[in-house]
Structure 1
Amino acid sequence: MKFEGITDVFFDLDHTLWDFDKNSALTFKKIFKINNVKADVDHFLTHYEPINLKYWRLYRNNEINKTDLRYERLSETFKLINFKAEDELIHKLSEDYITHLSTFNHLFENTFEILDYLSLNYNLHIITNGFNEVQYKKMSHSKIDHYFKTITNSEIAGVKKPNPEIFNFALNLANTTVNKSVMIGDSYEADILGAKNIGMDVVFFDLRNMTVDANIRQINNLIQLKNFL
């Protein structure tokens, strides 16, 4: 069943439109080569990905800052795989990662198709917790920036999803109201519950087959948004 009365569609960026895991893996392969890191990158990534999610959760909850996030996720992973990495190398990899991440721009299947479709009838927007200095580059380099009327970043808003203030900031920036808006994202806590808590309609982009509230609309391919919008 399609939503009614919607004028504005808000997307998360990483893990929703921009294929973070694939682009991140390619970035690590590149910067390991640049810095002559002899650790097996695939073995590293197997451990890094859940550790990264853990530190992003801490960052989202304001328990660590951006600098700590960037350093600790690498340090903990290297320790776990028993690879001795000096602080200097970890700091260098941390900087190189941010520098090179936006040079890889794989998007999820049907991203362009659904943005073309939705942009005909809706105002499109981004709400992201990602770092300000890389999110715009990701969108520009992947050629999706022109679809979006506004981009709300947690560093600009001063709060992170799921804090209701970032959603209200985004609504004000977009000059729209909660009853005319829908949020689409992959994080059940940050995107879906965060938006629902202020009364916004939601669509959960679920690639992990999570068990969630049966009343929440779910998709596992972006083209399925045509069922609701």
Structure 2
Amino acid sequence: MEAKISDVFFDLDHTLWDFEKNSALAFQTVLTKHKIEVDIDLFVSHYVPINLKYWELYRVDKITQTQLRYGRLKDTFDLLSYEIEDEKIFFLSDEYIHYLPQFNHLFEGTIEILEYLKPKYNLHIITNGFHEIQSNKLKNSNIGGYFQTITNSESAGVKKPNPRIFEYAITSAKAKKENSIMIGDCIEADVKGALNFGLDAILFNECNAEVPENIKHINNLLALKKYL
């Protein structure tokens, strides 16, 4: 007989909070404000995979936060053959971080599923994002009140998929892993990280990517009702 779920842990970016849409709007604001003469749509299309690559490196501690924030912009400008000084890149990076939490599009069904889950379960966040930025996202998008605990990589001292961040989150929530489940968009960080720790997991597969047969997955957040 399966253990009864009492605690549900969500990733934030790319799972509840629509990172790509909000990121594009932040860049549109920053690049326009500072008269950076590039095609913004083209800039964003280059930035998205570059940012993903840098986050993968950051997740396994191969680069620092500063290298992440500088490198992803530097590489994007280089692809566009746009000459820009390093000092300006650091400045634009800070501006982007400032504006990013001010755009708060959520994935379809986010509020409805949180309203559905809140009376039934204790809800929590586990994110590799940075404390101040993630706190602002939760506050500005009006979903912070749904969650009892927020675990980020800065407070835990490690990033998903390291089992210690899941241990930290479970302990903070006063939960038991056999009564908990993790929901996130990244197979490596969220799903395999949780499963390797002994925590059940569901992949939010919004882009309908191919998924291994043994991985539970949903394409829309409201589909969580089938499991919870």
Superposed CA deviations along residues 164-195 of structure 1, whole A, max 9, x for unmatched, are: 00000000000011100000000000000000
Structure 2 partner of 1:196: 195
For residue 107 of structure 1, what is the aligned residue in structure 2? 106
Give me the TM-score of the superposition, normalised by structure 1.
0.97
Which deviations, in whole Å up to 9, do the C-alpha atoms of 1:66-123 show, x marking residues without a partner? 0110000000110011111111221111000111100000000010000000001100
AA aligned opposite 1:197: N
Moved more, 75-84 or 8-17: 75-84
Q: Could you say which residue in structure 1 is the equivalent of 2:120?
A: 121
Question: In 1, distance between residues paired with 2:10 and 2:88?
Answer: 35
Measured after TM superposition, the shift of residue 210 of structure 1 is 2.5
Equivalent residue number for residue 33 of structure 1: 32
Does residue 206 in structure 1 map to residue 202 in structure 2? no
| Secondary structure at 2:135 match in 1 | helix
Shift of 1:4: 4.7
Secondary structure in 2 matching 1:197: helix
- The one-letter amino acid paired with 2:42 is H
Segments of structure 1 that go 5 or more residues without pairing to the other structure are: none
What is the DSSP-based 3-state SS (H/G/I as helix, E as strand, rest coil) of the residue aligned with 2:102?
coil
Structure 2 gaps, min length 5 = none
Q: Give the Cα–Cα distance (whole angstroms) in 1 for the partners of residues 184 and 145 of structure 2.
A: 19
What is residue 17 of structure 2 aligned with on the other side?
18
Task: Quote the sequence identity (%).
Answer: 56
Distance 1:183 1:158 in 2: 19
Q: Does 1:68 align with 2:81?
A: no
SS at match of 2:91: helix
Match of 1:130 in 2: 129
Q: CA deviation at 1:31?
A: 0.2
- The separation in 2 between residues aligned to 1:125 and 1:102, in whole angstroms, is 19
Distance 1:15 1:163 in 2: 19
* Residue 5 (1) aligns with residue 41 (2): no
CA distance in structure 2 between the aligned counterparts of 1:144 and 1:4, rounded to whole angstroms? 28
Q: How many residues align?
A: 227
Write the distance in 2 (CA, Å) between the matches of 1:57 and 1:46.
18
Say which SS state the counterpart of residue 182 (structure 2) adopts: strand
2:141 matched residue in structure 1: 142
The letter of the residue matching 1:39 is V
Q: Which stretch has the larger CA shift, 76-85 or 140-149?
A: 76-85
Instruction: Please give the secondary structure, in 2, of the residue aligned with 1:102.
Output: helix
Q: CA deviation at 1:33?
A: 1.2
Taking structure 2 as the reference length, the TM-score comes to 0.98
1:214 to partner: Cα distance? 1.3
Give distance in 2, aligned partners of 1:67 and 1:133: 15
In angstroms, what is the RMSD of aligned CA positions? 0.9
| More off after superposition, 183-192 vs 85-94 | 85-94
CA distance in 1, matches of 2:81, 2:19: 26
